[in-house]
Amino acid sequence: MERIVYADYLRVIGILGVMGVHLCGNYLSKTPLFSGIWYQGALFYSITRSGVLLFVLVSGLLLLDRPQSIDRLPHRIERVMVPFVFWLFVFYLKMIFIDHSIVAASAYDFVGGFVNCILNPNIISIEFWYIYMIIGFYLMLPIIRKWISNTDEREIKYFLVVWFAVLVLNYFNTRIMILEYVNLFTGYLGFFVLGYYLNTTDSKYANSFTLGLALFIAGTLMMLLSILIPTWMSGQLNMDYVGYLNLAPSSVFKAMGMFLMLKNVDFKTVFKTRSDSVNEFMRKFAEITFGLYLIHLLIPLNGIWSIELSPFINIPVCLAVIIVVTYVVLNVMNRIPILQRFTGMKY
C-alpha cells in the first residue's frame, strides 16, 4: 500500500495535541480564574484538545482500506499491549518507590496491584483509556472491514449521519429512550469510519482545505465557549460541556477540520525543494508517536515548567524537551534487541 503522507502529519499533530492538552490543564485548574493567563490557558486548551481523535481517524484511514484477517489480530494486539504493559509497569514502579502514591507491603500486594493496573489503567493515568479503546477496534476490525468492503458510500454516509445525531443528543443529555438502544451508533466507532470515508470519498467537500479550516475554527470557538460560558455563569471552573473523552460536536468539527486541511495541503508547494526532507522528518516523528503517548508523563520538567509563563511560550518549550528526551530514550532502546519490542515504534 502506497504511503499516505498526510497520515504522518496527522499522527504528529495528534500527539502534540495530546501532550499539549495534558500540560494545559494546569492553567485552567491552578491559575486565578478569569486572569489573563487563565484565558490564554482556555484558548490553548481549546486549540489542542481532540488530538487523540486524529489517531482514531488515522486508524480508520489506514486499516479499513485494506483486507483484515482474523489471523492477524493476535499480532496486531501484541504490538500495542507489549509496549503498553512495559511502560505501565515503569509507571507502577515510579508510583510505589518515588511518588509513594501506591503502597505494596508484600509481594502479593505488588503483583495484585499491578494486575489491577492492567485491568484498570486509569489507576496509573487516565490517558491510558485510549489503549483499550483501540484494542476494542482491533477486535471488531475484521467485521467492520467486511461491512465497509460490501457497502456503498450512501450507506456509509447514512451511518455517519445517524452516529453524529446520536452523539449530539447524548452530548446534551437528551432523555430519549431510543438512545439506550442504538449503542452501535455511539462512541468512537464513528471516528474510525469517518477517517476511512474522508480519505476515500470523491465528494468536493472532503477535498476542500477551506472547509477544513472553517470546521477547525468553528470547533475551537465552540469548545472555548463551552468552557467560558458555564464558568462565567457559575463563578467557578466548569468543564461539564467540554465533552467527556472528546465526545462532543466541537471535537468532531475540530478533528474533521484538521483532517481535511492536511489531506488537501500540497506539501510540495508549501515546503518547495525541502518537501522530501520535511516529509521524511515527519515519517520518523510519526514512528515515535505511540511511544510518546505512553511515556510523555514520565519526563520530569523541573526547572522548565511554570504556569506563570504564557502557555503559548511555556508549553512548546516543554514539548520540545519531552520530544527530544523521548526520541533519545526510544532510539537507544531500539538499538538493544531485547528492548525493541517495548518502544512502540512498530505500532
When divided into structural domains, the chain yields a total of 1
Contact 201, 20 (CB under 8 A): no
CB neighbour burial string for 4-19, b if at least 16 within 10 angstroms, e if fewer: ebbbbbbbbbbbbbbb
**Domain contains 291:** no
DSSP secondary structure letter of residue 106: S
Which cell goes with 115?
Answer: 494486575
Split at pLDDT 50, 70, 90, the class of 245 is low
**Domain contains 188:** yes
pLDDT tens for residues 159-189?
Answer: 999 999 999 998 888 788 888 888 777 889 9
- pLDDT, residue 347, reads 63
Domain that holds residue 233: 5-274
**Domain contains 23:** yes
**Domain contains 99:** yes
**Domain contains 319:** no
pTM above 0.85, yes or no: yes
**Domain contains 335:** no
**Domain contains 301:** no
Q: 3-state DSSP helix/strand/coil percent for the chain, to nearest 5?
A: 75, 0, 25
Percent of the chain with pLDDT over 90: 80
